[in-house]
Amino acid sequence: MKRTRADVVFDIFNYAIMVIVLIITIYPLYFTIIASFSDPTQVSLGNTTLWIKGFTIETYSSVFKNSEIWIGYRNTIFYTLFGTIFNLFLTIPTAYVLSKKTLPGRSAISWYFLFTMYFGGGLVPSYLLVTGLHLDNTVFTIIILGGLSVYNMIVTRVYFQNSVPEELYEAAIIDGASDFRQFFTIALPLSAPIIAVMALYYGVGRWNDYFTALIYLNDNDKMPLQIVLRRILIQNQSLSASLTTEQQMMNEETKAYLERMKRVAEGMKYSLIWIASAPLLIAYPFVQKYFVKGVMIGSLKG
């Protein structure tokens, strides 16, 4: 079919909008990268808008000299890995069972889960429950809390309903397969896309979670990376404020040194952002194809 002038104009307009959105989305990450590798003085002067100015790894060296960073990384990897496994252990079987139309009380159970999406006890009852079970200040608190997202479970349930043919289950039943065998030999092998999507959803949430640790953890050796980075940023802001006050009583050489330290402390926030974001950005391309397929099948058909 011959394209009209209106079609060409529409395509040009669409491409222009998408390019603008892409730039708005990508530029903050790009700026964070170039600012983290640029001279802090050049960053403070606003000279790193497009390119790295005065390449240096000084801010990264300052960050990684802090042993708390490595402890936070270790803890966050542990919480993310085992927390995501625990999430999938609860979400996938629950969604599979609720996808069965022959399940007795299926509607009532679904409404029970749906109710928890909109109504909760709140922070104080949750805290009293955790402390009452003696789970506060333990690694199990971070892993167990938030074990199942009802929204993710519903998306997974819709995937099972729409993407796994019922005829496969019927054939398996004729061959004498139990419900467990149907789940492990039919449902799981055919649900790789939605499992990848749920792993990504839960993994990102686990990696970025700091509020749970802020409320329930007291031991610094158990703190995740996000809490450690937050603490470093607060310390750097306090350091900058104190150096500004002390500069008034020092000679010019000392003032210049302290000004340099202030800028390094300020520039560390860009390296901290990149340190916290890099692992997820690296992992995303490996699950992208499953992510797109799983989301489209699991949500749009529902």
pLDDT for 221-276, tens place per residue? 888 888 887 777 777 666 666 655 555 555 566 666 566 666 666 677 778 778 77
pLDDT for 33-60, tens place per residue? 888 888 877 777 777 888 888 788 877 8
Residues in the chain: 302
d(Cα 164, Cα 175) in Å, to the nearest integer?
18
CB environment 87-107: b (16+ within 10 A), e (fewer) = bbeebbbbbbebbbeeeeeee
Mean pLDDT of the chain: 81
Residue-range domains of the chain with CATH:
60-300 (1.10.3720.10)
pTM for this prediction: 0.77
Confidence band (pLDDT; 50, 70, 90) for 129?
confident
CB 268 within 8 A of CB 63: yes
Residue 205 has pLDDT above 70, yes or no: yes
Q: In the prediction, which pLDDT does 294 show?
A: 53
Strands (E) across 119-243 are located at: none
The mean pLDDT value for 48-75 works out to 81
Residue 179 has pLDDT above 90, yes or no: no
Residue 157 has pLDDT above 60, yes or no: yes
Q: In the prediction, which pLDDT does 106 show?
A: 87
* 3-class secondary structure, 251: coil
Q: In the prediction, which pLDDT does 299 show?
A: 47
Residue 300 has pLDDT above 60, yes or no: no
